[in-house]
A and B are shown apart, each in its own frame.
Chain A
Amino acid sequence: MSVVYLVLPLALIIVGGAVLAFVWSAKNGQYDDLETPAVRMLHD
């Protein structure tokens, strides 16, 4: 059970990584337009 002391912080670090990735992608405008890319593909 004391493995929790190790695993939980580790999990939180991973979550932090995911959050950072999300922040990065949002700031890069990945979510600005969710529809055009899907449609654009059809025109090519």
Chain B
Amino acid sequence: MSYIEPHAHMVSRTTDDYERLALAGCEALCEPAFWAGFDRSSAAGFYDYFRQLTEYEPKRAARYGIKHFCWLCINPKEADDPGFAREVMALIPEFIGRENVLGIGEIGLNKNTRNELKIFEEHVQIALDYDLPVLIHTPHLEDKLKGTKLILDSLSNFSKLDHSKVIIDHVEEHTVAHVLDAGYWAGMTLYPESKCTPNRAIDILEVYGSENIWMNSACDWGVSDPMAVPKCALEMKRRKHSPEMIRKVTFDNPAKFLSQSPRFKL
């Protein structure tokens, strides 16, 4: 099967993972800027990271015939220090025009703090200024429901924001309706221990439908599985979902959303 991995942190993965993704049919993957597992000590660390996302990873992916795209921002875990966050955000204009940059992400909230929200809103404004799509991270575990509601409240203050150009990621059963009902796209992350299992993601598709929703592995340096999307596709097949339905959520939907960036070309 051909599919798109719309959220993967390949800087944390091995080249063998690229090979496995290619063997499974991955045609393109998208890498949002995120937390490295530790806090960077300077904005220069992000400068190098943005170079890695825009220069090195596309070449690594290309060796396996995979198109690599990315999103830029300072992630919410490092956004609680606004001074530092703004230093990093000042780097974005230098990279925003690079050919694999799709938009601003993954921005959002982590511990639902006042500073995180401030920096989140400044990122949204950058996206509006450059007319770019937005990819939003919602918090983990007990913080997810509150963070999702705070994010939705905040977004409602941006009157010029096109909801169809915003995807709110890591939805689960208690947040997916909030996101879809507000007219945004929803992303389901398939993790072994947190977020959605493949079966729960399929349940969500059965209950809430397959419009404006995608699934991703969000594979990174933690407990995660780069093969999660094809494994979920297999589970969908076992649960007798049609090939068209599987294609829709693993290829057509991500292609439709991502094509809102003119740089997304397969």
Q: Do A and B come from the same complex? A: no
